[in-house]
Structure 1
């Protein structure tokens, strides 16, 4: 927005007189006249030739007026854009999240948001890799794990815990937990790995016995490229797997998957909502992030 001096100048030019400008600005005529004088002194250039009945711009005044008009137009555009940020969310919204979070978290979150704002048009990119939000045109990214340093805005919205689990039948013949024989038996089980994991997968996990961690090494016998596929293989007894609690919450409740005995509660892994809108995201982004945060809470209860 223009300051008082150039605003007085623009108003005088557009109204055609100091008197009408004073009425428009709701200030005294003497104040308008003084503002014009101070502006010319500040710029060290003559902007207008004023008589009792007429005001005409000098070439410098004409150029200055045009620049001021551009500033006013940009200011108005900025205000309009900010108003739209607070308006009812509508139009396209692109969100990306890991495969494991789509069904239990993103789907119910978007159902809630679109029910509240029917004009919103969400699209989802299921991707375990972190994408470039700017080049991919992504509004919100749900990211699991510590984030690299960047200029993106991030808000922690929850946590997940990785659970070593298997189908009950696979664990039925387990030796007594927390013994050397038990951990040897665990490592002999077939292991279901993600395709990005190596042939030999190693985990250091806390145990219930004095919270002392145990080093486990598995040779992957089955591989899949999504958490859903790994969970499906585990449910069907193909092996043991390390899976996020959010992705298998219903399996744990129903008993189709069981956590391995002898292990303590795993350390939490943070979940973040990331966007590129600095400190003022549009309302559609704010509402989506809040809905995802609520869905994360619901998924574990």
Structure 2
């Protein structure tokens, strides 16, 4: 870590004033000013031109600032790497995951991690969209589906399957699944869509193990922006919906929702834990990802 003098200099540059730097460093304003003076005396070079309202760097100050920033980054990386070698995880960690995974997966995973490391301070962002880990300050993102190419690091932690389902009483008048009119009847059902889906939703579904497919087109009868809301609408008979098995595992078990007949086991969709650290992430990140992987396995073993 930088010594007190260069650290004071970097903080002054980044905050824009000695007063704000003193607040940031939690030291007296006079101490910050004295640190800058001593630093210039030690280096025997003018680093900044200071007035009562403005601070501007000299060419030498700009170069020194950039070097100090590099040292700070290396020091932070060293601390992160040392955490990976056995330090007890503590402090903030930010996780983002789709809404459907929060209750069945993320909550029990964090309960396990908090029990093991009580000084860890998780923050969770429930978001179905993929967020920018760097700009949003996210440590771990749980992402469903194939990942785009990037410099981020990913670990596959499980899979889910999309299930076309409805409440049993919605399906009670359905023709037999081998009836030629069956899929026409299915297509006439009200469709519960996610807000990001278009007004007309098209699905191509495999209907046998012999690569036979049916093309279905649904017009959205009702929309919602979370899987939980869509599942609630489906449970209450408002229509048919395509939902991830993890989000409706309890409904499928209790029979409040049932998969459509005539469909084979859906193809698995990968779930990844993504982070922006190098090959050696902090122990807090490693432990959180492992707990999420175990929680996923318990929901859908």
Q: TM-score, normalised by structure 2?
A: 0.73
Please list, as runs of the form range in 1=range in 2, the aligned pairs for 1:183-222 lying within 5 A after superposition: 183-208=183-208, 210-222=210-222
Q: 1:180 to 1:134 in 2, by over 3 A?
A: same
Structure 1: distance between partners of 2:206 and 2:99: 27
Give the CA deviation at 1:178: 2.9
Q: 1:135 to 1:175 in 2, by over 3 A?
A: same
Structure 1: distance between partners of 2:168 and 2:197: 25
Structure 1: distance between partners of 2:104 and 2:132: 24
Which SS does the other structure have where 2:181 is aligned?
A: helix
Which SS does the other structure have where 1:88 is aligned?
A: coil
Matched, 1:104 2:104: yes
Please list, as runs of the form range in 1=range in 2, the aligned pairs for 1:151-230 lying within 5 A after superposition: 151-208=151-208, 210-230=210-230
Give the CA deviation at 1:179: 2.8
Asked if the contact 1:175–1:182 (Cα under 8 Å) also holds between the matched residues in 2, the reply is: yes
Structure 1: distance between partners of 2:296 and 2:156: 12
Asked if the contact 1:163–1:244 (Cα under 8 Å) also holds between the matched residues in 2, the reply is: yes
Which SS does the other structure have where 2:234 is aligned?
A: helix
User: Runs of 4 or more off by more than 2 Å in structure 1?
Assistant: 72-86, 208-211
Structure 1: distance between partners of 2:232 and 2:202: 22
Aligned to 1:278: 278
Structure 1: distance between partners of 2:209 and 2:254: 27
Q: 1:199 to 1:75 in 2, by over 3 A?
A: closer
Structure 2: distance between partners of 1:109 and 1:158: 14
Deviations 1:135-162 (A, max 9, x none): 1000000000111100000111111100
Structure 2: distance between partners of 1:106 and 1:229: 18
Give the CA deviation at 1:206: 1.1
Q: TM-score, normalised by structure 1?
A: 0.73
RMSD over aligned Cα, in angstroms?
2.0
Matched, 1:82 2:81: yes
Asked if the contact 1:100–1:228 (Cα under 8 Å) also holds between the matched residues in 2, the reply is: yes
Deviations 1:215-242 (A, max 9, x none): 1111110100000000000000000000
Structure 1: distance between partners of 2:143 and 2:80: 28
Give the CA deviation at 1:83: 2.4
Structure 2: distance between partners of 1:116 and 1:125: 22
Asked if the contact 2:81–2:281 (Cα under 8 Å) also holds between the matched residues in 1, the reply is: no
Q: 1:75 to 1:94 in 2, by over 3 A?
A: closer
Structure 2: distance between partners of 1:79 and 1:201: 50
Structure 1: distance between partners of 2:207 and 2:76: 60
Q: Whose Rg is larger? A: 1
Deviations 1:53-75 (A, max 9, x none): xxxxxxxxxxxxxxxxxxx9999
Give the CA deviation at 1:300: 1.5
Please list, as runs of the form range in 1=range in 2, the aligned pairs for 1:250-269 lying within 5 A after superposition: 250-269=250-269
Which SS does the other structure have where 2:263 is aligned?
A: coil
Q: Which runs of 5+ in 2 are unaligned?
A: 1-70
Matched, 1:287 2:273: no
* Count of aligned pairs: 231
